[in-house]
Amino acid sequence: MKMAAGRPFNKKKPADAAESCLINEAAVKAFGWKSPHEAIGKQIESSMHAGAKTIIGVVKDFHYRSIQFLIEPLFMAISPQQFRCLTLDLNNGDIPRTLAFIKDTWHRQFPDLPFNYTFLDSSLAQLYQDEEKTGQLITLFTVLGIFIACLGLLGLAAFTAQQRTKEIGIRKTLGASTAAVVVMLMKDFTTWVSAGALVAFPLSYWLARKWLQEFPYRIDIGWRPFAASFFLALMISSFTVFFQSIRAAQANPVDSLRYE
């Protein structure tokens, strides 16, 4: 935590534990003070503490809950009787050995209390567990959707090439190159992919904005994700259709003209 005004608690000043408190910038705004410095020296009361506390410092706003919630006014005071856990800073060494040492020390000091621990990064990750699961599900269904779409494109490309066998043979006989035939076959699929993007992008934009509005702190959706997804869709569809188009374009024109 960083100080916006005043000072933090000081172990060398015993009065801090009984008479002092810290608040955040959101609390300063809630009380109607013009600046954090104006709050220093003011006295406030809390239902969880007896008597008034003098504000000795204002901390800068930080997220003590997930970013799904606004930063609300925060009051902090020293209350040893309410301590429920210890926070330890561990080196990136032998973590299992360190935990065993902590557990042994805990049982020596508090033999009647169970030893339970969590890591801070795990606790923070739990705040966004629902979003993580949603993201994983979206990724899974996206991959499945792309795979099914590619199978459909492959089948449609084969069907189109079969339907236009004679046309391909005539074009080849008249001197059309393999590249020209491939471009002709892929042009229709590119057009339909582009048309699908024009339909999907407005709907995707609306759904994404609606979901982001649930968060008080959020990013804005620009055009870059849609441009990237459009080019990715073109690449996937082109790659899927390309080999089938090459196969049809390289077929013997004589066999194509005999096709019934």
Domain range for 29: 3-82
Is the residue at 90 inside a domain? no
How big is the chain, counted in residues?
A: 260
User: Which of 63, 121, 59, 116 lies closest to 89 in space, CA to CA?
Assistant: 121
- Dihedral sign (CA 31, 35, 38, 44): positive
Q: Are residues 118 and 133 in the same domain?
A: no
108-112, 210-214, 232-236, 238-242: which has the highest mean pLDDT? 108-112
Tell me: pLDDT of 259 over 60.
no
Q: Are residues 156 and 235 in the same domain?
A: yes
Q: Which pLDDT score, from 0 to 100, does residue 60 have?
A: 96
Q: What is the pLDDT of residues 44-55, one digit of tens each?
A: 988 777 778 999
Tell me: pLDDT of 82 over 90.
no
Q: Are residues 147 and 250 in the same domain?
A: yes
Q: Are residues 183 and 240 in the same domain?
A: yes
Q: Are residues 121 and 133 in the same domain?
A: no
Q: Are residues 150 and 228 in the same domain?
A: yes
The answer to whether the beta carbons of residues 182 and 245 sit under 8 Å apart is yes
Predicted TM-score (pTM) above 0.75: no
Residue of 177 and 89 predicted with greater confidence:
89
Q: Are residues 165 and 230 in the same domain?
A: yes
The answer to whether the beta carbons of residues 245 and 181 sit under 8 Å apart is yes
Residue of 83 and 30 predicted with greater confidence:
30
Q: Are residues 111 and 139 in the same domain?
A: no
